[in-house]
Amino acid sequence: MFTGIIKSIGRVHNIIIKKNIYFLFIRTSKYFLADLNIGQSISSNGCCLTITNLYKNILVFNIIINTLNITTFKKVKIGDYLNLEKPLKIQDFIGGHIVTGHITGIAIINKIRNYIYYRILWIKPYDMHLMNYILEKGSICIDGVSLTIDKKLTNKFSVNIIPETLLKTTLSKKKINDDVNLEVDFYTKTIIETVKILHKNNNKYT
């Protein structure tokens, strides 16, 4: 589990593809790596990945084809920046919301409004079914960052990015037509799907 509060920004140091395995090498600060071990999970741009190697200030992850197909990792290049977060500890403050690290879809940024102290991103999921779980003032995880949904239209939604988030995440570098990983709020999705099932069952017996 994660909270969507980014702890470090990493940079893609190398990418190696062997057969069906994709090896991703991410350089980050030694401070972030200090208490990590092989086998632990890290949220990388919102996707839960397992550390397969660790040395100096480089993390190594193996990404299988299925994960590549449903995330933005298929477009990641050497030199790209990624949001990183360690798993939630029981005693930690939950500053964002509960995030599983299981990506539910990819979306495209189709509008950006820049202001003096903040920016607004308009985001459109490729899978319109995900809009069912996106509610105004609800939670959303974008590239691993916990955010509040500001406005919702039929096929897109907006989020406001405050200065602290711009400073500590890669959202300050995003451009129009960039893809991002989405994770809709698990509890919102569960409640909506449960209500649908109950409604369907009630109609069946009336």
* CATH assignment at residue 23: 2.40.30.20
| Alpha carbon separation from 87 to 108, 160, 168 (Å, rounded) | 27, 25, 18
Q: What pLDDT score does 205 carry?
A: 58
In a domain? residue 100: no
- Assess whether 20 and 80 both reside in one domain: yes
Q: What pLDDT score does 206 carry?
A: 57
What's the DSSP call for residue 152?
A: E
In a domain? residue 132: yes
In a domain? residue 134: yes
In a domain? residue 80: yes
In a domain? residue 157: yes
What's the total number of domains in the chain? 2
In a domain? residue 202: no
In a domain? residue 99: no
The string of pLDDT tens digits covering residues 107-146 is: 999 999 999 889 999 999 999 999 999 999 999 999 999 9
- Assess whether 109 and 50 both reside in one domain: no
Q: What pLDDT score does 141 carry?
A: 96
Q: Which of 54, 85, 116 is the last residue of a domain?
A: 85
Low-confidence ranges of the chain (pLDDT < 50): none
- Assess whether 73 and 132 both reside in one domain: no
- Assess whether 28 and 71 both reside in one domain: yes
- Assess whether 178 and 144 both reside in one domain: yes
Query: What is the spatial distance between Cα 25 and Cα 91, in angstroms, rounded to a whole number?
Result: 30
- Assess whether 42 and 80 both reside in one domain: yes
> What range does the domain containing 141 cover?
105-189
H helix or E strand, kind and range, residue 120: strand 119-125
Copy the structure tokens of residue 171. Answer: 């959202």
- Assess whether 75 and 109 both reside in one domain: no
Q: What pLDDT score does 20 carry?
A: 77
- Assess whether 181 and 109 both reside in one domain: yes
- Assess whether 78 and 136 both reside in one domain: no
Q: What pLDDT score does 1 carry?
A: 84
In a domain? residue 96: no
Copy the structure tokens of residue 172. Answer: 């300050």
Q: What pLDDT score does 66 carry?
A: 87
Q: Residue with structure tokens 């989405």? A: 182
